[in-house]
Structure 1
Amino acid sequence: MTENAPTRQSTGAMEQPPTGAGLLEGKTILVTGVLMESSIAFHVARLCQQQGASVILTGFGRGMKLTQAMARRLPVEPVVVELDVTDQEQLDSLADRLREHTDRLDGVMHSIGFAPEGAFNFLEATWEEVSTAIQISSYSLKSLAVAAKPLMGEGSAVVGMTFDARYAWPVYDWMGVAKAAFESVNRYLARDLGPEGIRCNLVAAGPIRTTAAKSIPGFQAFEDNWDTRAPLGWSVSLSEPAARACVALFSDWFPATTGEIVHVDGGVHSTGQ
């Protein structure tokens, strides 16, 4: 990080979007992955509420208490429903359980990722470790979209978070492979859900100190030089720029955009490695 990062990264420290603007007025958005206030998903949920949406969160297991605690920090405390994306029974019952709170979903936020520690050693990782990373970090996008689909329809949107998978990043290893699969899953979902009017897009954020990032051994390798390579500068402590992109993709301002990856990385993707 350089001393002038806060000035260069004006897109992160910018003014709050005006409340009452109603970009998502009347919509209902399901948000996964709210565990900490630093979570991109937390800021997605907050901004969705500020822009007029009703929000429902998901959590499960030991993380459920964290999600419930974060729910109380939002402008309006949302309902939290249980969802483990590796549990087929919970996926199969999701739509019915959501119907207790809403009759439709206008958006679904996928902010789920996990890989065992061994998956961050490319040559020594076992298939068990790799398959866990792929199931939770890639296949779950399809699982979540299909589970929520009964409540979605024309104009609905699925939005997920990725980390640009075109490159072999330092230390990312099998999580990088899982993200490449995740981006491919998004394209196939866009193909298959498009005829029903459901859009599927991803936001590729630069490195941010989220709960998921803290679990990556050597994550500091990303932190140390991203700001110097980003034309707009970059701050690893600001989640809101990526969250704003997610909110925009949920809105009606992208009616003909699907299968896309929107980069929110200060411009690093455009400048080479």
Structure 2
Amino acid sequence: MGILDGKKIMVTGVTMNTSIAYAVARIAQEQGAEVIVSNFGRGMSLTNRVVKKLDPVPAVLDLNVTDPQALADLPGVLREHGFDHLDGVVHSVAYANPATALGGAFLTTGWEDVATAVHTSAYSLQSLTMAVRDLLSTGSSVVGLTFDATVSWPTYDWMGVAKAALESTNRYLARYLGPDGIRCNLVAAGPVDTIAKKAIPGSTDFNAVWEQRAPLGWDPKDATAVGKAVVALLSDWFPMTTGTMLHVDGGLHSTGA
């Protein structure tokens, strides 16, 4: 028996097999879940190829989480694929313009680029959750992914601000959905060598920081530990945990210089 036996889980943001979302989808299936995944636009070709490595091969939705009409249509699309309810939703979506909002441009970034980062990376947690609200019920779990925004990071800039907004959004979702028995949590991952990470100028420097300071060590090429944590939060093993941020970073968050 797996800890997600019989559960229906939606995983957004699946791209390459190096992505955290892919690891979540793979481990969720191993633990008995029926999984459906999504990506958006040009990334769809990557997703359609990589899901062939999963068994069974899940359906892939083309979902722009910043498009109100796409969100309005989502429950119907899910039902067409046999997902008449959702036991879990994984939010693995983020974007900030690398040329203007990342890489040290913080002091000169214009509002339009800031708005894009916040909308895509933070507000979408609320809008996605509310889009599928009628498919969620007591025991359902919403899990998002963050890169600890309680501190500033070199080059992360407005994505860091967006992640801080994401972390606050998670707490408010937990407050308002808790009375209906719906849990909302985040996993703060260490640096994983995904496509998204590689788009951040200077992000490879994070690997050296983790190599030096993480008490348990850290492998940036393996998202398995993060995927397992997400799956655990999707399961019934955390029935009274909501509004929290679980660190899966080799312990680096607990260390000083």
The letter for the 2-side match of 1:89 is: Q
The letter for the 1-side match of 2:161 is: V
Q: Calculate the TM-score normalised by the size of structure 1.
A: 0.91
Aligned partners of 1:170 and 1:221 also within 8 Å: no
Name which of 187, 198, 201 aligns with 1:214. Answer: 198
**How far off its partner does 1:65 sit?**
1.4
Q: Calculate the TM-score normalised by the size of structure 2.
A: 0.97
CA deviation string 1:80-111 (max 9, x = no partner):
12210111000011011111122110000000
C-alpha separation between the residues in 2 aligned to 1:150 and 1:79? 21
C-alpha separation between the residues in 2 aligned to 1:185 and 1:163? 14
Aligned partners of 2:198 and 2:204 also within 8 Å: no
SS of residue paired to 1:140: helix
Partner of 2:73: 93
Name which of 28, 46, 50 aligns with 2:26. Answer: 46
**How far off its partner does 1:272 sit?**
2.4
Indicate yes or no: 2:228 matched with 1:247: no
The letter for the 2-side match of 1:123 is: L
Partner of 1:126: 110
C-alpha separation between the residues in 2 aligned to 1:187 and 1:212? 24
Q: Which runs of 5+ in 2 are unaligned?
A: none
SS of residue paired to 2:101: helix
**Number of residue pairs matched?**
253
Runs of 4+ deviating beyond 2 Å = none
The letter for the 1-side match of 2:13 is: G
Partner of 1:55: 35
Partner of 2:52: 72
CA deviation string 1:214-261 (max 9, x = no partner):
110010221112121011011111101000000000000000000010
C-alpha separation between the residues in 1 aligned to 2:45 and 2:108? 34
C-alpha separation between the residues in 2 aligned to 1:82 and 1:96? 13
C-alpha separation between the residues in 2 aligned to 1:236 and 1:175? 19
C-alpha separation between the residues in 2 aligned to 1:244 and 1:91? 28
Q: Which runs of 5+ in 1 are unaligned?
A: 1-20
The letter for the 2-side match of 1:22 is: G
